[in-house]
Amino acid sequence: MHIRFLAAVALTASTASALLRFSCSQLVVERLDPLVNPGMAPSPHLHQIVGGNAFNVTMDPATPPPSQATCTTCTFADDFSNYWTAILYFRARNGSFIRVPQKPNMGFEAANGGMTVYYTPFFTGRGGPGTVTAFRPGFRMLIGKQEYRTREEASRFRQLTYTCLQNILTRTGETLDMPKRPCPAGIMSNVRFPTCWDGKNLDTPDHMAHVAYPASGTFENNGPCPASHPVKIPQLFFEVIWDTSKFNAKDLWPEDGSQPFVWSQGDETGFGNHGDYVFGWKDNALQIAMDSNCDRCPQLKSQSLATGNKCIGPLHVREKIDGCKLLPLFQSQNDVARAMLTMSVGLDAIPGLTPDLKYRN
């Protein structure tokens, strides 16, 4: 997987420690959110989920994913965790919506969409066994607020950003809001979680209070954890690449020049970027990796991208999440989206929302 080279490119920092960087292909796309809305099917908005196939409506903390899962979409075969984000849609000038596909990251070209996942034990200096505490069975967390719509609100979270990809290697120019110009190689959403834990709670009612950012400085410059959250945990980081390239022609964008992409919770600003995590590594595999400070991690069991692609989760909510598939009828990358200017090939509304992006009752 050429992980050392890829990690250096992804982090653009020669001082970065070794880290786990791996692919998790698509497991399922549906309206479930067992962290925020346990037991609700469908949940209010649509998500894309990767990881172990034990993903379900409740994700009972008393039932660890490794005890239920039979496969995982991730390339580390002992990782039955689940990771999920909202879904991105393109809104055409005629008001219809088409789901934006995800595409693989560099080095994982054979993956079926999904995301790239990172676990970084520390960014500078050297550690050793016990320097970083891996997540425990039952641990879960959320970062971001799906209802946020302003820069002031989004600034509460230090590293929920977007990268307008000029090519697959672009790792500069991150913004808090959705890019306002066409991005040649797509839009990458970046979701970085806090790196300090209170050492007591595996979860809290808001799914965030048990974790915190460093008291001063940042994770990248080895800032200390606050006294309230003294336990250092790995930095969990998602990269999700949305293939917006087929919608890059400016005559597809709104006439007023505003950007046309909308999160599945109805967010046109990008400030509602958020990610969810339910820990599910088998036994002490993640702690071994963090103690070893490894990148390829031969200590861990791995599997091919092709094997991960075969792991498909059960669909709990059956509904239409895509419009008509007209792609074979057109020749150029913008023809499908351009057709939407004159005919409705997309959805009238994003699942769970009204056409004007409000939640349905």
pLDDT of residue 181: 95
pTM (global) more than 0.85: yes
CA distance 340 to 361: 28
Number of structural domains in the chain: 1
Per residue in 21-43, pLDDT tens? Answer: 999 999 999 999 999 999 999 99
Q: Tokens at residue 19, please?
A: 């880290």
pLDDT tens across 269-323, in order?
999 999 999 999 999 999 999 998 888 889 999 999 999 999 999 999 999 999 8
Of all residues in the chain, what percent carry a pLDDT higher than 90?
A: 79
Strands 160-164, 275-278: parallel, antiparallel or unpaired by DSSP? unpaired
d(Cα 214, Cα 195) in Å, to the nearest integer?
7
Q: How confident is the model at residue 129 (pLDDT cuts 50, 70, 90)?
A: low
What is the tens place of the pLDDT at every residue in 48-72? Answer: 999 999 999 999 999 999 999 999 9
Q: Which of 114, 240, 237 is nearest to 188 (CA)?
A: 240
The reported pLDDT for the residue numbered 142 is 98
| Residues whose CB is less than 8 angstroms from the CB of residue 56 and which lie 6 or more positions away in sequence, other chains included | 32, 34, 316
Which residues constitute the domain of residue 119? 1-361
pLDDT, one tens digit per residue, over 150-170 is 999 999 998 899 999 999 999
| pLDDT in the model for residue 229 | 98
Mean pLDDT of all residues belonging to the chain: 89
- Flag whether pLDDT at 262 surpasses 90: yes
Rounded distance, CA 103 to CA 83, Å?
16
Least confident of 87-96, 157-166, 240-249, 323-332: 323-332
